[in-house]
Amino acid sequence: MWSELKKAISNIDVSADWLGIRAVTEISSNRFIRDGLPQSNGKSSTLGAMVEVMVNGCLGYGATNSLDFDSLQSAAEVAYKQALAASEWWIYPFQKASERPKVVGEYISPLVENLDALSPGEINDLLVRICNTLKVDDKIVQTTASASTTEKNTWFISSNGSEVYQKFLLFSTHFGATAQDGLVVQQRTNNGWSAHCYQGLLEFKEEDLWYRVREVGEQAVELLTAQECPSTRTNLVLAADQMMLQIHESVGHPLEIDRILGDERNYAGGSFVKTDDFGSLEYGSAAMNITFDPTVKGEFASYGFDDTGAIATREYVIKEGVLHRGLGSLESQARSKVSGVACARACSWNRPPIDRMANLNLEPGSASFEEIIGGIEHGVYMESNRSWSIDDRRYKFQFGCEYGKLIEDGKLTKTLRNPNYRATTPEFWQSLTKVGNKSTWKMYGTAYCGKGEPNQAISVGHGSPVCLFTNVEVFGGG
């Protein structure tokens, strides 16, 4: 691949100030079982390249699904014409030295299990067995299990000497059960919809798998007769799997600098955060420490370089509650004059990179789970996201969970169904009182974070401990 790309970068004939090529190959498999019966079992592959040029301070893009020289030349001409036409109305003049610096290196996902550790037949048999094991009672009316794998290779080369190779091995697994008794229907999944997403790890081989499968089925049935979540203001304890969604929606998206600048307003929305908030806004309590960290081994959105070649580093975006950095690429940093991170990411070869969150994690505190629960006279504990709603400024939100427990006098007591909570983003994070220690910290991910026009669904990772929030409005209702 390198020899073809080097030849192309040397011979493409356009009058650009800078030129880059990002070539991508991707092979994916997807298997889905419902009620013990295979529903889909497919494999797909894609190959192509995005050619990017800089002309008179403007960027232009052209994509092709062929890597021969003539196709790359044609894509470069499309990109050149686009950039040249746009240069009459540029908002900010980009420079190759700062927005597209030279970089050389590689990143390879840490391989814990080979992609072929289990054959397709073995994976299907395992998924069927999971569905059958989930059916712990006749009141289980539907079971599902799925597994997906992706091997993705990217090569990035530029006219100013960049050469970056990255190889990603991605795994996603899911299972869940739906129970029904008359008009009451409840669902329980393994930590929320498709939250088990990692790099280089075939998680279905974990030793406690079958205990967890039976537990999910039993909890689905348990929820049918559980008490409805009370409507009150109280202490709220969120498990790490729900914190994943909380971080994603109320921290990740509002800190994307292109949203703050208005680029996404007509589709994905804007943000309540302003550019002059960085360095001063008290986003949450002093217990809130959020890092952007694509260097975490095995987390779903780890990488060595973003899709423009910027080197990925661990950075605090919020430290002791104060907002420090945005989720902005080199381009957005130049436009906004706000410190950002290496987060220009594209979902495929035929999409340009835009500002995206990657691994966004809440750093652990010092309290054990028992210490957090033990200090609460009255409260509600919630696990696993079921529903979410948040306004287009990422300010007001309402989230629902699959499973809850009442907290009384320092103990988890009655099971609660349909637990929900609502707040505003600053109010909620400023009520963060205790953060669990490393033993409560878990990482999850999703492959379906959507943004951009045309839409880009991309992988993100989120790690968090168990957290305690005070004086939060909780309520029931399906």
CA dihedral 267, 273, 278, 284 (to 10 degrees): -120
Which residues lie closer than 8 Å to 208 by C-beta, 6 or more apart? none
For 357-394, b/e burial (b = at least 16 CB within 10 A) is: bbbbbbbbbebebeebbeebeebbbbbbbbeeebebbb
DSSP conformation class of 420: E
Amino acid at 10: S
DSSP assignments along 313-359, one per residue: --EEEEETTEE---B--HHHHHHH-----S-EE-SSTTS--EE---B
Q: Residues 178-234: pLDDT tens digits?
A: 999 999 999 999 999 889 999 986 666 556 899 999 999 999 999 999 999 999 999
pLDDT at 475 over 70: yes
**Phi then psi for 212, rounded to 5 degrees?**
-65, -40
CA 436 to chain centre: 21
pLDDT at 160 over 70: yes
Distance (Å, whole) CA 129 – CA 148: 17
* Residue 313 banded pLDDT, cuts 50, 70, 90: very high
Is 151 strand, coil or helix? strand
Q: Residues 232-279: pLDDT tens digits?
A: 999 999 999 999 999 999 999 999 999 999 999 988 899 999 999 999
Tell me the two tokens of residue 37: 């019966």
Query: What does the pLDDT read at residue 115?
Result: 57
Query: What does the pLDDT read at residue 405?
Result: 98
DSSP conformation class of 250: I
Residues composing the chain: 478
pLDDT at 173 over 80: yes
Which residues lie closer than 8 Å to 88 by C-beta, 6 or more apart? none
Is 261 strand, coil or helix? coil
Q: Residues 88-128: pLDDT tens digits?
A: 988 899 988 889 999 999 999 987 666 567 788 889 999 99
Q: Residues 422-458: pLDDT tens digits?
A: 999 999 999 999 999 999 999 999 999 999 998 999 9
Amino acid at 355: D
User: Could you tell me the CA-to-CA distances from 457 to 111, 175, 202 in Å, in that order?
Assistant: 24, 21, 22
